[in-house]
Amino acid sequence: MKLKNRLVTVGTMIALTSFVNAADPAEVLFDAKCAACHSKTRPADMSNVVAPALMGVMRHIKMTYPNKEVAVKFMVDYILEPTKEKAICMPKKIERFGLMPSQKGNVTEAELKTITSWMFDNFPPEGFRGMGHGNRQGKGQGRGQGK
């Protein structure tokens, strides 16, 4: 009986270790720090949405900041000190959701660098087209393309 319990315990530990190791640490951080407001997929029920989905956010980020290093720097700065002047989303998004509140005290700069780098590498998904199909009314075209 003891051997059977040990085998079950070892098997459970291996399964849990595999699960934990399979999750990207940056995605785990995103889930813990950002997913309460920003979903990774387009929500089926838009009535409960409190912030734009990640894929749309990243589409606009990449349209304005196609260089990863510049994009990450922008996102870290904006998340810690958001202003309407810095915002690159469509004006209707700010009307609908309001300006993102500062996340100072909720997430560290190091965590944000990890999270935003992962966001840049993984979103939006290939072939994604936003609801506005890129109509940003001329705002922010090509800003921050430098190295």
Please report, for residues 39, 81, 101, 116, 126, the alpha-carbon distance to residue 70 in angstroms, rounded to integers and kept in the order given: 23, 16, 22, 11, 21
Does the pLDDT at position 141 exceed 50?
Answer: no
**Distance from C-alpha of 84 to C-alpha of 100, rounded to nearest angstrom:** 9
The residue written with tokens 């990640």 in the block is 54
Segment 65-111, tens digit of pLDDT = 999 999 999 999 999 999 999 999 989 999 999 999 999 999 999 99
All domains in the chain, ordered by first residue? 25-41+48-122 (1.10.760.10)
* Sequence-distant (≥ 6) Cβ neighbours of residue 69 within 8 angstroms: 147
Does the pLDDT at position 11 exceed 80?
Answer: no
Q: What are phi and psi of 66, to 5 degrees?
A: -70, -20
Mean pLDDT (whole number) for 53-58: 94
Percent of the chain predicted with pLDDT > 90: 62
User: Among 63, 121, 61, 67, which residue's Cα sits nearest to residue 86?
Assistant: 61
Tally Cβ neighbours within 10 Å of residue 70. 17
Say if pTM beats, i.e. exceeds, 0.85. Answer: no
Does the pLDDT at position 14 exceed 80?
Answer: no
